[in-house]
């Protein structure tokens, strides 16, 4: 192995950070990790930051702390705006151009709004730490507004709409409902918090689609118990500043639409000139290379990683982590003049938190399918997610907060986002009146509306 081999890794998420760490274990490899944030975020727990179960510091770990003991690992906090794959080089927003012997793209994903009118401008995605803090500020701002001016409640101040019945949507809907009807009901003495409603909308016919039918039914049962209004077989046709229009013709007046409707590749994937497939993700071979571009590797959520059946692996944290470690091995093999090995994913199962003490977990073990529900799955969920977190202090702090939330009360409810867009209650041009726009209640749709006075960038 040569002494001056260099590698650029774009993205400090699960895939990129894991790849960089494995490469940096070899002192003969110089690794440059580029990310627009100076921290690694534990994306599966963003919804817990948004609902005050965890603090932002619990799920964010400084990238420079990772590199502290690795002199051959350099962190650059910058945003990559263009890529020259053939030259193994990238250009950043600051104007710097960096090149290396090998280039690894691990830029992750972004929300997919499926061309739904107004969704990008007026909904709250939940795919970054800033998204989580913005959503938390909006929820508490709405309760403060409703407490100050109860007349705003008919305009959707206490109606919350979650779009998407996958793990993100189910987890945030359950956590939000528990926070509203538990913590906030006890804190707002002059406000009829019991009138607040959480709606979960999905165009499919079951929650948690990748899970078993038993998990579908269990999730629906727990969410319904917690007061979530579930509307399946229903799509969102438009999101406005103060409303959501549904495919069944009904309208919900709400000022907070949480978008968990899907993912697509990060924007940089489209500017790299590389072959793209479903979701805008870059098509790769089984060893993470791109045809015709030796030395370029694409991993994690930005890649369509092929399975043996011809389909692509799902966008999961475990897939991203394992792809990062495997790509590092293949790069080291290439440096040594050895052949790369096709990716072999070890499926450790899937799980989702539905509420306090309620979760589902499924795994293929010993050739059999195993399912867990309730408190046992809840404990397994806590253990697995704590183990995946970066940094021992993060794990300890998370466990303390989880215990406090489980046995005590949730917090902190602090309006700490002075830069958050203010609500303009007269903004929605399609504000429906009680007579002409009365909302029919399909499975779970009810009157409500949504709004941001400035767009939320995805």
Is there a cis peptide before residue 315, judged by omega within 30 degrees of 0? no
Q: In this structure, what token pair is assigned to residue 127? A: 């795919």
Whether 207 and 216 have beta carbons less than 8 Å apart is answered as yes
The alpha carbon of 422 is separated from its chain's Cα centroid by a whole number of angstroms, namely 24
Strands 97-99, 89-92: pairing kind: antiparallel
Q: In this structure, what token pair is assigned to residue 249? A: 């013709």
For every residue of 191-251, DSSP letters joined together read S-GGG-EEEEEESSSSSSTTS-HHHHHHHHHHHHHTTEEEEES--EEEE-SS-EEETTS-E
| H/E element, 392 | helix 392-407
Whether 51 and 175 have beta carbons less than 8 Å apart is answered as yes
In the residue annotation, 171 being an active-site residue is answered as yes
User: Exactly one of 3, 79, 171, 371 is catalytic; which is it?
Assistant: 171
* Dihedral pair phi/psi, residue 333, rounded to 5°: -65, -40
Give the burial string for 7-23 (b: 16+ CB within 10 Å, else e): bbbbbbbbbbbbbbbbb
* Dihedral pair phi/psi, residue 47, rounded to 5°: -65, -25
DSSP conformational letter for 166: S
For every residue of 125-151, DSSP letters joined together read E-SSHHHHHHHHHHHHHHHHHHHH-GG
Whether 127 and 31 have beta carbons less than 8 Å apart is answered as no
Cα distance between residue 358 and residue 283, in whole Å: 37
Cα distance between residue 50 and residue 260, in whole Å: 13
Give the alpha-carbon dihedral of 37, 39, 43, 45, to 10 degrees.
-130
Give the burial string for 235-246 (b: 16+ CB within 10 Å, else e): bbbebbbbbbbb
Helix 14-24 × helix 317-335 angle, to 10°: 30
Q: Which residues are catalytic?
A: 171
């Amino acid at each position: 192995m040569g002494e001056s081999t260099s590698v650029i890794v774009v993205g400090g998420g699960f895939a990129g950070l894991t790849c960089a760490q494995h490469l940096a274990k070899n002192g003969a490899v110089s690794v440059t990790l580029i990310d627009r944030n100076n921290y690694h975020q534990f994306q599966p727990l963003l919804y817990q930051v948004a609902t005050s179960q965890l603090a932002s510091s619990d799920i964010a770990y400084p990238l420079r702390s990772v590199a502290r003991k690795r002199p051959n690992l350099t962190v650059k906090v910058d945003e990559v705006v263009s890529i020259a794959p053939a030259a193994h080089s990238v250009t950043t927003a600051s104007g710097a151009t960096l090149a290396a012997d090998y280039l690894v793209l691990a830029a992750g994903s972004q929300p997919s709004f499926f061309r739904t009118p107004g969704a990008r401008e007026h909904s709250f995605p939940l795919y970054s730490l800033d998204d989580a803090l913005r959503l938390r500020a909006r929820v508490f701002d709405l309760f403060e507004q409703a407490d100050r001016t109860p007349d705003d409640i008919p305009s959707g101040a206490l109606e919350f709409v979650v779009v998407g019945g996958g793990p993100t949507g189910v987890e945030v809907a359950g956590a939000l409902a528990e926070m509203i009807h538990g913590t906030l009901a006890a804190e707002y003495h002059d406000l009829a918090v019991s009138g607040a409603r959480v709606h979960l909308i999905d165009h499919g016919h079951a929650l948690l689609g990748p899970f078993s039918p038993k998990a579908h039914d269990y999730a629906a049962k727990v969410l319904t118990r917690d007061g979530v209004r579930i509307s399946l077989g229903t799509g969102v046709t438009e999101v406005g500043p103060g409303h959501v229009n549904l495919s069944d013709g009904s309208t919900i007046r709400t000022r907070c639409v949480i978008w968990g409707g899907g993912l697509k590749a990060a924007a940089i994937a489209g500017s790299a000139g590389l072959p793209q497939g479903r979701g805008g993700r870059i098509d790769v071979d089984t060893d993470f290379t791109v045809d015709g571009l030796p030395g370029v590797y694409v991993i994690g959520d930005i890649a369509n990683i092929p399975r043996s059946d011809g389909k692509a692996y799902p966008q999961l944290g475990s897939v991203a982590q394992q792809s990062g470690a495997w790509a590092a091995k293949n790069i080291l093999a290439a440096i040594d003049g050895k052949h790369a090995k096709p990716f072999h994913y070890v499926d450790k199962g899937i799980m989702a938190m539905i509420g306090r003490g309620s979760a589902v977990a499924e795994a293929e073990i010993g050739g059999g399918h195993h399912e867990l529900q309730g408190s046992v799955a809840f404990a397994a969920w806590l253990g697995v997610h704590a183990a995946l977190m970066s940094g021992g202090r993060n794990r300890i702090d998370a466990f303390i907060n989880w215990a406090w939330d489980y046995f005590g009360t949730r917090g902190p409810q602090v309006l700490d986002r002075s830069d958050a867009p203010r609500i303009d209650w007269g903004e929605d041009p399609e504000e429906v009146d009680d007579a002409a726009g009365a909302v029919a209640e399909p499975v779970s749709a009810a009157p409500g509306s949504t709004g941001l006075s400035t767009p939320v960038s995805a």
